[in-house]
Amino acid sequence: MADSLVERRSIDVVPDAERHGTAFSQFTLWLGANLQITAVVTGALAVVFGGDVVWSVVGLVLGNVLGGAVMALHSAQGPKLGLPQMIQSRAQFGVRGAVVPLLLVVLMYVGFFASGSVLAGQATAELTHTDDTTGIVLFAAVTAVTAAVGYRVIHALGRVASVICAAAFVYLGIRLLDRVDLSALVSDAHFDLPMFLLAVSLSASWQLAFGPYVADYSRYLPRTTSGKATFWWTLSGSALGAQWSMTFGVLVAASAGGAFMGDQVAYVVGLGGTGLVASFLYFVIALGKLTINVLNTYGGFMSMVTSVSGFRGQKELSPRGRAAYIALIMVAGTAVALLGKDSFLSSFKDFLLFLLTFFTPWSAINLVDYYLISKERYDIPALSDPHGRYGAWRWDALAVYAVGLLAQLPFLVTHFYTGPLVDPLGGADISWIVGLVVPAALYWTLARRNTAHIPSETILAPAPEALGTPEAPEAPGGLTQAGMGG
């Protein structure tokens, strides 16, 4: 079964016998996932809403590096624990309490599935000579099938997309530079703090939104994989791919204006040419979106299973159940895409920034617990037991999460809500910084007072006395060996 193309693992721990690959696989996956049209649009928003080229690019770089570092710290957890990201959150929030951030994570996946389907649906419609609605539905169906096959095909897709999409972006970049006066765009630099911080927030939110599922794609790596290697390959792939796409978006928006805003996909393809070249570029756009939408679908089903299993005591999932969860994500995301396809650009910017409000406190709590409080030591069987060491609800962490959410509101800027402290800051949105710092400091202060629930070493299986078997020897690296391999 270790060599089966169709994945059979879901929320259960990946046995050592089924681990494979190298940390470099994270680079190709995340490079391919970021070389795509939605990242282009994200970069363009920095200019569309008033920024200049130079400071928009600088702000996007800063956000990609800062947000990407937080995201990559989550990725490094995968090889160590062999678990999906949000299952591990039960150690902080409780076996059932983790459902609070999980429900928000599911909404995020549905939203990203929908936003990606709008743009990919346009490309699919051009390739199949149908309308946008048909294109969205066809694209969603292909996404669901790919996600159902699982981990191996997802990484294979990332490798293919990283090469094809990189080549296409090089070509499009050359074509774009032939059309624009780059020196004029660069010379028009004028620093504006609110616009600069908007650019930082756009790219940081883009990266931070990967946090709740990034470890899902590193959990099959061998347990001996270096955490530093996993971190750096993930960060470099994600930050490089996102910055490449977003810089392209900045230049397109600065030079094209309304022509790009009217139809992002058609304009980008038009840069490349017509005929077979145009068809190839439509294919590249669909391929890039397929890569990231599969990640969103896969992560969404993982989060839904994690939510339900916390109350049902479920540790594994049948292939039929897997297909049902994936179908739910596909149907919900497709419905949102069809309803919102005519107001995509303005809605997407608010969606990105609003998401950031909910995920920065979760990231802060998870990372402080993993690296500073528990110090990478978890009782994996207890993550499925509401009566175990982590309990059903950990109210201290949930309270810190709530404080983290509320602390951001005075600094938040969206079309439907603007906090009271935004004007004194010149209109700048710094809510995501507050959302990282406040809960991180508060959780560290509270959690280090009571560490009785933290095991002295990572426990991979129930204690031998609970199983009625002789005590197993300890594996190298402080890992309890009982149950390794299943």
Q: How far apart are CA 8 and CA 360, in angstroms?
A: 31
Q: How far apart are CA 361 and CA 350, in angstroms?
A: 18
**Residue 242: its pLDDT value, please?**
96
Q: Say if residues 38 and 111 touch (Cβ distance below 8 Å).
A: no
| Cβ neighbours for 108, distance < 8 A, ≥ 6 positions apart | 209, 212, 355, 358, 359
**Residue 249: its pLDDT value, please?**
92
**Residue 475: its pLDDT value, please?**
44
Instruction: Single out the residue of 115, 201, 191 nearest to residue 434, CA to CA.
Output: 201
Looking at the DSSP bridge assignments, the partners of residue 480 are 474
**Residue 476: its pLDDT value, please?**
43
Q: What is the pLDDT of residues 261-290, one digit of tens each?
A: 767 788 888 888 888 899 999 899 888 888
The CB density around residue 311, as the number of other CB atoms within 10 Å, is 12
Would you give the end-to-end CA distance of the chain in angstroms? 12
Q: How far apart are CA 200 and CA 193, in angstroms?
A: 10
Instruction: Single out the residue of 188, 326, 167, 301 nearest to residue 251, CA to CA.
Output: 188
Q: How far apart are CA 218 and CA 230, in angstroms?
A: 8
Residue-range domains of the chain with CATH: 16-345 (1.10.4160.10)
Q: What are phi and psi of 150, to 5 degrees?
A: 105, -150
Q: What is the pLDDT of residues 307-331, one digit of tens each?
A: 777 676 666 666 777 788 888 888 8
**Residue 353: its pLDDT value, please?**
62
**Residue 267: its pLDDT value, please?**
87
Q: Say if residues 400 and 446 touch (Cβ distance below 8 Å).
A: yes
Stated as kind and residue range, the H or E segment containing 383 is none
- Walk along the chain (486 residues) and give the pLDDT tens digit of each residue: 445 666 676 777 888 888 888 999 999 999 998 998 889 988 998 998 888 899 999 999 999 999 999 999 999 999 998 888 888 888 999 998 988 888 887 887 787 788 778 878 888 888 888 888 898 889 888 888 888 887 788 888 889 999 999 999 999 999 998 888 888 888 888 888 888 988 998 899 889 888 888 998 898 899 999 999 999 999 999 999 999 999 999 999 888 867 777 677 888 888 888 888 999 998 998 888 888 888 888 887 788 888 777 676 666 666 777 788 888 888 888 888 887 666 655 566 566 567 668 888 999 999 999 999 999 999 988 988 888 899 999 999 999 999 999 999 998 877 777 888 888 777 777 888 899 999 999 999 999 998 888 998 888 766 555 544 444 444 444 454 433 333
**Residue 478: its pLDDT value, please?**
47
Task: Tally the C-alpha atoms within 13 A of residue 9's C-alpha that lie toward its C-beta.
Answer: 25
Instruction: Single out the residue of 443, 296, 371 nearest to residue 74, CA to CA.
Output: 371
| The pair of three-digit structure tokens given for residue 313, joined into one six-digit string | 């005591």
The CB density around residue 55, as the number of other CB atoms within 10 Å, is 18
The CB density around residue 104, as the number of other CB atoms within 10 Å, is 17
Q: How far apart are CA 202 and CA 355, in angstroms?
A: 11
**Residue 179: its pLDDT value, please?**
85
| Cβ neighbours for 126, distance < 8 A, ≥ 6 positions apart | 135, 265, 266, 269, 278, 279, 282
